[in-house]
């Protein structure tokens, strides 16, 4: 049986090389294609819109015509937007440590306080490298074997060109402004949502809300994982992914 193309989108401040740290067995039955977000890993920023729609159009232009889309964190928002914008091109959607709204609201408390993102934005302007390091530490906080996961993240980042500072700012604004909760019901392709039970950035409680907003979605929680379950817990992550692939039509 031919392998299915699978687009892999990384998170904020990360790089496409981060997927190289995931064991090959995770991608059984898949032909993974890493796709760097605009302004990351040497990819130029698009000349058009500096927002979610603009970044999604840029990623669609570089992606296969039909594929499974797998997005981690900020990459999850891009993957979700791609499924809404070009549903005929997204065969299935896998969202990892992602949320349709990353910032808290009165009716959405399972999210990051806006003040936390404001602090990241302010510090990014004065201490860019220190800010990225603090963000890396947040991604592994609370998970099992955090130092091992952190080491792999740092190794991947060190092997890639530094992200464009403007891309980092745009990425934070996307995380701040985007709210796709009301559009989840439009997703018609198979949808798998993978969350870490100890995630300090996307609280696991978001899974309960996803089940309400998108009843067709499969929500899987990896209890001991933080914000990078594909790196810290590749076996259960791969099992969830492989189960989704096996259910897709040939």
- How far apart, in whole angstroms, are the C-alpha atoms of residue 91 and residue 52? 21
From 246, 185, 193, select the one nearest 218 (Cα to Cα): 193
From 132, 143, 123, select the one nearest 204 (Cα to Cα): 143
Whether residue 40 lies in the annotated active site: no
Identified catalytic residue from 40, 227, 230, 233:
227
- How far apart, in whole angstroms, are the C-alpha atoms of residue 230 and residue 194? 9
Whether residue 73 lies in the annotated active site: yes
Whether residue 121 lies in the annotated active site: no
Identified catalytic residue from 40, 41, 73, 99:
73
Identified catalytic residue from 199, 230, 232, 233:
199
From 78, 94, 111, select the one nearest 209 (Cα to Cα): 111
In the block, which residue shows the tokens 């817990």? Answer: 233
Cα–chain center distance at 70? 7
The helix or strand, by DSSP H or E, that contains position 154, with its residue range, turns out to be helix 146-158
Name the CA dihedral angle for 221, 91, 167, 163, rounded to a multiple of 10 degrees: 80
Catalytically annotated residues = 73, 199, 227
């Amino acid at each position: 049986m031919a392998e299915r193309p699978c687009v892999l989108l990384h998170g904020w401040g990360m790089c496409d090389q981060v997927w190289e740290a995931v064991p090959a067995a995770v991608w059984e039955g898949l032909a993974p294609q890493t796709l760097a977000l605009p302004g990351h890993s040497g990819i130029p920023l698009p000349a058009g819109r500096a927002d979610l729609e603009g970044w999604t159009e840029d990623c669609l232009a570089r992606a296969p015509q039909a594929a499974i889309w797998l997005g981690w964190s900020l990459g999850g928002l891009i993957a979700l937007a791609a499924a809404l914008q070009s549903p005929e091109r997204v065969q299935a959607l896998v969202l990892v440590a992602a949320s349709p709204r990353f910032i808290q609201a009165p009716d959405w408390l399972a999210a990051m306080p806006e003040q936390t993102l404001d602090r990241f934005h302010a510090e990014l302007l004065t201490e860019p490298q220190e800010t990225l390091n603090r963000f890396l530490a947040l991604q592994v906080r609370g998970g099992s074997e955090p130092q091992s996961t952190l080491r792999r993240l740092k190794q991947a980042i060190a092997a890639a060109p530094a992200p464009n500072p403007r891309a980092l700012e745009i990425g934070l604004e996307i995380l701040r402004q985007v709210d796709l909760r009301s559009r989840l019901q439009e997703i018609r392709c198979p949808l798998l949502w993978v969350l870490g039970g100890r995630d300090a950035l996307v609280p696991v409680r978001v899974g309960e809300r996803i089940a309400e907003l998108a009843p067709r979605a499969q929500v899987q929680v990896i209890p001991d994982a933080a914000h990078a379950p594909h790196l810290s817990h590749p076996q259960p992550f791969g099992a969830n992914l492989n189960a989704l692939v096996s259910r897709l039509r040939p």
